[in-house]
Amino acid sequence: MLAIPINQDNSPEAVLDILCTLKVRDVMTHPILTARPSDTLRQIQQTMKKNRITGVPVTDTAGTLLGIVSMDDIISALDSGWIEDPAALHMTTKVIVLRDTMSLSFCVSYFNRFSFGRFPVLDGDDRVVGIVTASDVVSTLLVALNREMEKIEQTAPPEQGSAATAEGPGGERVIEFRTEPFNFEIAGQASTEIKKVLKAAGVDAAVSRRVGIASYELEINQVIHSSGGVMRYVITGDTLSIEARDRGPGIPDLEKAMTEGFSTATDRVRALGFGAGMGLPNTKRVSDSFSIESSASEGTVVRASFNLKGNKQ
């Protein structure tokens, strides 16, 4: 069962605001599929399967709620041999419902209080108008939070990330991140952080997207192919240079490594979704300048730079 991990006693104000402003009708799925009490559980099971849903409210023809059939009821019916019976005989009739005008705050507390995966939603005339699942709530919340964070970002100064940031001798800005082999907890941090820095500096989204691609590919390469290294970003005027330097084992054949589709990724790495052999070619494609050096003793250094005012495709 998906619990909604929000504690309304100590959530930040922005979250509480969202929970109070949004209504159940903003998150519910509607229109919804309903069943009649005379439908067999088998028919209802087929409807669920076809529509990939896990619960169906049972109503009369006027839309008044009579009960609900959930996946659990179907499983019991299959176990007990009454799958061909009409829903009326076995549906859950003590249904807890929400009203379409209730706040999301109310809805979240329902999910945390009752162990149901979904609640039918009734309108002012007691007719079923929708259904709310925990995942409906979570996805709406994420969209609302994203919007809220954008507002906050526009008003607050950008926070300093976990990166080591320094001012270089020529007034340039230097940011460094370490990477560790197979540490996916910190993998991707450097790329996220540099995109934040660029956004705060007002760099065009298309440029920042290209930087993000290159940075991510080089960072992940260090994580999956090397013994770890450093991602170094230097911003001088309108230029951003990325230097991805690792401690080895180096790339024996650079030409091959730069070929689309060439990869030495192991099955373990491929299972994680890497290993298409596109990282280096893509990095070169999105960068304004690109170079790669590698040796078994020194490891690999990839350099990619970007004109932050540029508009390369």
Ligand X SMILES: Nc1ncnc2c1ncn2[C@@H]1O[C@H](COP(=O)(O)OP(=O)(O)OP(=O)(O)O)[C@@H](O)[C@H]1O
Interface residues toward ligand X, by CB under 6 A: 217, 221-222, 225-226, 246, 251, 257, 262-265, 274-281, 300
Q: Which does 14 bind (CB under 5 to 8 A by kind): Mg ion, ligand X, none?
A: none
Where does this chain touch Mg ion (CB under 5 A) — which range of 18-26, 95-103, 199-207, 271-279? 271-279
**β-pairing, 164-167 with 289-295?**
unpaired
Q: Please classify residue 108 by burial: count the beta carbons closer than 10 Å to its beta carbon, then call 0-12 exposed, 13-18 middle and 19+ buried.
A: buried
Is 221 one of the binding residues for Mg ion (CB under 5 A)? yes
Q: Cβ 282 to ligand X, closest distance in Å? A: 7
> Taking contact as CB under 5 A, which single stretch among the options 32-40, 44-52, 184-192, 273-281 is the one that binds Mg ion?
273-281
Work out what residue 246 binds among ligand X, Mg ion, none; the CB cut-off runs from 5 to 8 Å by kind: ligand X
CB 19 within 8 A of CB 104: yes
For the bound state, the minimum distance from the C-beta of residue 225 to ligand X, rounded and expressed in Å, comes to 4
Q: Residue 6's closest CA among 119, 112, 145? A: 112
Task: Name the closest residue to Mg ion (Cβ).
Answer: 279
Interface with Mg ion, residue 229, by CB under 5 A: no
Rank residues 193 and 217 by Cβ distance to ligand X and give the closer one.
Answer: 217
Please list every residue from 132 through 171 that binds Mg ion, using CB under 5 A: none
277 interacts with, out of Mg ion, ligand X, none, CB within 5 to 8 A per kind = ligand X
Q: How far is the CB of 161 from Mg ion (least distance, A)?
A: 23
Which CB, 77 or 231, lies closer to ligand X? 231
The interface partner of residue 276, options being Mg ion, ligand X, none and the CB cut-off 5 to 8 Å by kind, is ligand X
State which residue, 32 or 280, has the beta carbon closest to Mg ion.
280
> Which string of DSSP letters, residue by residue, matches the chain?
-------TTT--HHHHHHHHHSBHHHHSB-S---B-TTSBHHHHHHHHHHHT-SEEEEE-TT-BEEEEEEHHHHHHHHHHT-TTSBHHHHSB-S---EETTSBHHHHHHHHHHS--SEEEEE-TTSBEEEEEEHHHHHHHHHHHHHHHHHHHHHHSPPPP-SSEEEE-TTS-EEEEEEE-TT-TTTTTHHHHHHHHHHHHTT--HHHHHHHHHHHHHHHHHHHHHSS-EEEEEEEETTEEEEEEEE-S---S-HHHHTSTT-----HHHHTTT--SS-HHHHHHHH-SEEEEEEETTTEEEEEEEEETT----
Q: Does 34 bind Mg ion (CB under 5 A)?
A: no
Looking at beta carbons only, is 63 or 281 nearer to ligand X?
281
- Residue 67 beta carbon to ligand X: minimum distance, rounded to whole angstroms: 50
Q: Which is nearer to ligand X, 63 or 248 (CB)?
A: 248
Q: Which of 194, 279, 286, 300 binds Mg ion (CB under 5 A)?
A: 279
The token pair that represents 271 in the structure block = 């299972």
130 binds, among ligand X, Mg ion, none (CB under 5 to 8 A by kind): none
**How near is the Cβ of 217 to Mg ion at its closest, in Å?**
5
For Mg ion, the binding residues (CB under 5 A) are: 221, 279
